Structure 1
Amino acid sequence: MIKNALGKFRFMGLLEGSSLLILLFLAMPLKYFFGFPEAVSVVGAVHGGLFTIYCVMIAYMTFIFKWPFRFSVAAVAVAFIPFGNFMLDRRLENWQQAKAV
């Protein structure tokens, strides 16, 4: 189980980033190439819910844990970039390890 707030945030970021990739690379082709618009409706709703939770977690990390402002801005920005959350996760992992030393 994930024990600290940063670990939970990183997990949520990976989950939200994965839902974006599923939306872009699976649901959208199903809609536009195979005439299955329900895929975008379902995956889009799930992604929207995960994105909302992700934004709440950004606010939580920023205000409660006094997270550096640059991480908050980066976390919001990468949510709109495919594979962006995975790059942010790597950066947060390095930051977490440097802080532990």
Structure 2
Amino acid sequence: MSSRTQVRLFKIVAVAEAFSWAGLLVGMYVKYVADGGELGVQIFGPIHGGIFVAYVLVTLVLSRTLRWSRWTTLAGLACSIPPFATLAFELWGQRSGRLTPSSGAARPVSVRA
């Protein structure tokens, strides 16, 4: 699988993980606050769990492919836990160049003043 395909897959899974969080949160609201039953949690719980595992695996594969630092990899993995943090990590990774497959060139280095 090419690095561009891996990056595309990562973005899809990151967004899906956030949407599954939203579904699970709505399901928990209905179950615990609105006392409307467990159906939402029963549906979105396993969906979110599966997408969570996919996100972790895709993050680990991509970190190796794009040669992320240990800290970038840990940040990506940590962002799988809070709701919607995968979106923030994906946006940050895109803006910082960490989700740009290199064609042999080094990743741009940021200069701090």
1:82 maps to which residue?
83
Shift of 1:46: 0.3
Shift of 1:20: 1.0
Count of residue pairs the alignment pairs up:
96
Q: Percent identity?
A: 22
User: Per-residue deviation at 1:54?
Assistant: 0.8
Q: What is the aligned-residue RMSD (CA, Å)?
A: 2.0
Structure 2 length-normalised TM: 0.73
Superposition map of 1:1-101 within 5 A: 4=4, 5-24=6-25, 26-32=26-32, 33-96=34-97, 99=107
Cα deviation for residue 84 of structure 1 reads 1.0
Higher gyration radius (CA): 2
Amino acid in structure 1 at the alignment position of 2:20: S
Q: Secondary structure at the match of 1:6?
A: helix
- TM-score, normalization by structure 1: 0.80
- Unpaired segments ≥5 residues, structure 1: none
Q: Return the alpha-carbon distance in structure 2 between the equivalents of residues 93 and 50 of structure 1.
A: 21
Q: Which runs of 4+ in 1 moved over 3 A?
A: none
More helix by share: 1
